């Protein structure tokens, strides 16, 4: 499935996240199963972390979502949902693709978590269920968001 959201402002972002939330919810995993893995792409400052905040809000996560640039991975509990945790990863600083293994990423995806990876190009990640591409437009504060499910 492919879907695009065009000329998205910051004010639109929560609604886009809600639509994407619904796509994620409709995808299996009721039986404990595997994680839902999202590759979140886009240039620096495209809005990957900002989008993750909106998506976290749609899962009722009240914690303050901070960029995992320096911490590499942050975990947030998800309540009342088949997904147990949001794992937010930023692979930007990974020196080599093996670092994902050190994080135990594959092991963590064995539980039914929601895994969001910024800069997935820089790591060996589990196969994504969804790829989101955020594109900056000429006009500041506007973005195109492309969603593809696998
Ligand atoms: N429509 C929009 N959608 C998302 N972010 C926007 C939008 N308009 C403006 N912004 C701003 O752009 C910036 C995006 O920064 P953010 O940290 O989310 O980018 P990023 O893609 O995670 O970058 P990095 O690769 O460095 O982690 C924020 O300051 C945000 O407020
Ligand atoms: Mg970021």
pLDDT for the residue numbered 102: 66
- Which of 42, 43, 44, 45, when mutated, tests ligand 1's pocket best, judged by the most ligand atoms within 8 Å of its CB? 45
Tell me how far the alpha carbon of residue 139 lies from the centroid of ligand 1, in angstroms. 14
- Ligand 1 neighbours (beta carbon < 6 A): 8-10, 13, 42, 44-50, 67, 69, 90, 92, 118, 141-143
Tell me how far the alpha carbon of residue 11 lies from the centroid of ligand 1, in angstroms. 13
CA angle 127, 112, 25 (to 5 degrees): 85
Question: Distance between CA 130 and CA 119 in Å, rounded?
Answer: 14
Question: Distance between CA 11 and CA 36 in Å, rounded?
Answer: 26
Most confident of 6-15, 28-37, 104-113: 6-15
Point out which residues pair with 146 in neighbouring strands: 4, 133
Q: Which domains does the chain have, with CATH numbers?
A: 2-149 (3.40.50.300)
Helix (H) or strand (E) holding 56: helix 48-58
Q: Helix, strand, or coil here: 144?
A: strand
114-143 pLDDT per residue, tens: 999 999 998 888 889 999 999 999 999 999
Compute φ and ψ for 99, nearest 5 degrees. Answer: -60, -30
Q: Which of 60, 67, 76, 61 is nearest to 118 (CA)?
A: 67
Q: Is the pLDDT of residue 9 over 80?
A: yes
Of residues 102 and 66, more confidently modeled: 66
């Amino acid at each position: 499935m492919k879907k695009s959201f065009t000329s998205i402002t910051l004010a639109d972002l929560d609604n886009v996240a809600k639509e994407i939330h619904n796509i994620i919810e409709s995808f299996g995993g009721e039986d404990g199963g595997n994680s839902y893995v999202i590759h979140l792409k886009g240039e620096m400052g495209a809005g990957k972390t900002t989008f993750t905040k909106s998506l976290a809000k749609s899962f009722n996560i009240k914690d303050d979502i901070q960029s995992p640039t320096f911490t590499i991975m942050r975990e947030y509990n998800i309540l009342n949902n088949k997904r147990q945790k949001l794992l937010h990863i930023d692979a930007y600083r990974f020196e080599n693709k093996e670092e994902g293994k050190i994080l135990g990423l594959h092991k963590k995806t064995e539980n039914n978590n929601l895994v969001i990876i910024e800069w997935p190009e820089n790591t060996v990640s589990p196969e994504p269920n969804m790829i989101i591409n955020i594109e900056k437009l000429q006009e500041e504060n506007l973005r195109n968001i492309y969603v593809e499910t696998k």
